Structures are given as structure tokens and as C-alpha cells.
Amino acid sequence: MNIRLTCMIILMVIGLRNAEAQKRVGKFFLGYETLEMSMNNFKHFAGEIGYRFNLEDQVRLMVGEVRLTERHLSSKWESAAVDGDNVQGYFRIYELSYDKFFGKRKNWYVSGSMAYVNDQYEHMIMDEMKIDNHTPTMGFGIGYQQMDLFGIEHLYINVSIPFRYYLMGIEEQQWGATTIHKHELVNNFWFFVGFNL
């Protein structure tokens, strides 16, 4: 096989792969959040729905309703929202994000977002110790999205790290020996698995 024919075949394969990548855009996608849910015993639901307009732009709506365990809230590696024991909670979020992809393969993105967040904390022994905070937020984030994961058509992952500024935050509070940390600039680490339609 001569060099010209080899180059033509390589270019055709690259062209077909680019054509396949183009098929991924202009599509809806739907995913289930696995990381936060696994850390909280899969209580309730968290997921996203979105639409990828082209290789560089997409919008997403993240909806989450998570029952927060005592272990999760006090873990320095997971939440770090509480120092101490006997506090459990509930977290609800509706977050709309606009993502702008960058880089050669257009898998990485930066995003701007706005959300409604409801944080609830309750002491498991002292009934009078409760927080029920409702706030709009504004934020930014970074993420990585891969469509057709492992060559499986329609399978995708999305790793999203949003940072939110609470317009009506929670001040630091002391509940006996337990500290509820201030909520002003709050982040999450989401790991979505789903399908693009």
C-alpha cells in the first residue's frame, strides 16, 4: 500500500470520527448523579437534563433532593458542613447552568449558573436545634463531559464542580459541642452517568 493511499484512508477515518462527534451535538441528555447519592445511601433523587446546541455550548438543569446522613455532613472529605455529631439534614437544589466547552476535543467546560437551594439541618437529640434556609444562588463551575463513553453509543458521563454564592447564607452556629459551618460560597462535586438521546 503506498503512502498516498494510507494517508487518504487515515483522513477518511478521521473524517468519519469527526462526523460521529458531530452527531452528538444538537441532542438532549439525561443523567443520574451517582457520587452524592452514594455518599448518602441513595436517599431521594439527584440528576440532570440538558441540551447540547453545538460543540461549544449547552444548557443543563440539575435537580437534586438528597437526605444528608450524619456521617456525610461531618466527613472532612465529603461535606465538611458540620464539625461534630448528631446532625442530619436535607438538601434540595434546582440549578440552571450554561456551559462553554473549550480545548481541542471539546470535553472540558466552564459554566455560569443560578440556582434555588434549600438546606435543612436538625440535631438528632436536641429538637430545638434546626435550620431551614432557602436562598437563590449565583455561581460558576468547571466540568468534563464525555459522550459515547467506552465506545458505547449514547452513554455519557459528566463530572461537574460548581461553586455557588448564597445570597442568603447560613451563619456559623454552635449546637452544644457541634459546629454548623458558615454557608456563603459552597461547592459540590457531581458525577452524572446517563444517556444522550
Q: Would 57 be classed as within a structural domain? A: yes
Q: Would 55 be classed as within a structural domain? A: yes
Q: Would 74 be classed as within a structural domain? A: yes
| Block residue for cell numbers 436536641 | 126
Q: Would 5 be classed as within a structural domain? A: no
Within 10 angstroms of residue 144's Cβ, the number of other Cβ atoms is 14
Are 180 and 186 contacting, i.e. CB atoms less than 8 angstroms apart?
A: no
Within 10 angstroms of residue 152's Cβ, the number of other Cβ atoms is 10
Task: Please state the domain count of the chain.
Answer: 1
Give residue 49's Cα distance to chain centre. 11
Range of the structural domain that residue 136 is part of: 26-196
DSSP for 5-58, please give it.
HHHHHHHHHHHHHHHHHHHTSSEEEEEEE-HHHHHTTT-EEEEEEEEE-SSSEE
Give residue 197's pLDDT. Answer: 85
DSSP for 85-116, please give it.
SSEEEEEEEEEEEEEEEESSSS-EEEEEEEEE
Q: Would 114 be classed as within a structural domain? A: yes
Q: Would 72 be classed as within a structural domain? A: yes
Q: Would 116 be classed as within a structural domain? A: yes
Q: Output the domain CATH number for residue 173.
A: 2.40.160
Are 60 and 32 contacting, i.e. CB atoms less than 8 angstroms apart?
A: no
pLDDT tens across the length of the chain (197 residues): 555 555 556 555 544 454 454 445 668 999 999 998 888 888 789 999 999 999 999 999 999 999 988 888 888 877 888 888 899 999 999 999 999 999 989 999 999 999 999 999 999 998 889 999 999 999 999 999 998 888 888 999 999 999 999 999 999 999 988 899 999 999 999 999 999 98
